[in-house]
Amino acid sequence: METASQDHYRVLQVDPGAEVDVIQAAYRVLARRYHPDLAGDDTVMKRINAAWEVLGDKERRAGYDRARVGGGSLTQSAIVTSEPAGRAATPDHAGPPRGRPFGTVLTYGRYEGWSLGQVALVDPEFLEWMRSVPGGRYLRPEIDAILREVRGPLGGAAKFGSAAVSTAQRMREAGVLIG
């Protein structure tokens, strides 16, 4: 993949004068459409990610725009195609995991760094959703076993005291901040 010859604005299908929020919205729409886990194209997704890494960062975008307008060649230092060394948690991250870890540890999303067992205690509906999407289907047997353990043999909320306890209530009891 030749990143230096791409026009990142064209890849994300936005105007060069677009605000960052517009660029981010375009990135998210294209990412949903072309993500390999959702039957998309891996090569296209890599181009989309490379464009977002440049245009989503104020300094990189300014450098890219200077090179683009000046007709200069875009150097590899202006275009980063690898994951940043220290990624900050997303604003909707659930915070540090609660309880004893058991099961596979998630490496993405709201519960990044949490084990499946820790998520099951706080948000079993998330695991139900995860087992049904392409990215989580390989975890289906493990998720089913963990949910049986947490919910009890009858599938109810036996370990939580009553079936009427909401996810929000379980999150409060586990000490997870709800925004």
Question: 69-114: per-residue pLDDT in tens?
Answer: 876 545 443 343 444 444 555 566 777 777 777 788 887 777 888 8
pLDDT at 77: 37
pLDDT at 130: 86
SS (H, E, C) 37-100: HHCCCHHHHHHHHHHHHHHCCHHHHHHHHHHHHHCCCCCCCCCCCCCCCCCCCCCCCCCCCCCC
Question: 56-68: per-residue pLDDT in tens?
Answer: 999 999 999 988 8
| pTM across the whole model | 0.40
Q: Which amino acid is at 174?
A: A
13: which 2 tokens? 């299908």
Hey, how many other C-beta atoms are within 10 angstroms of the C-beta on 5? 8
What are the structural domains, with CATH classification, of the chain? 8-70 (1.10.287.110), 88-179 (no CATH)
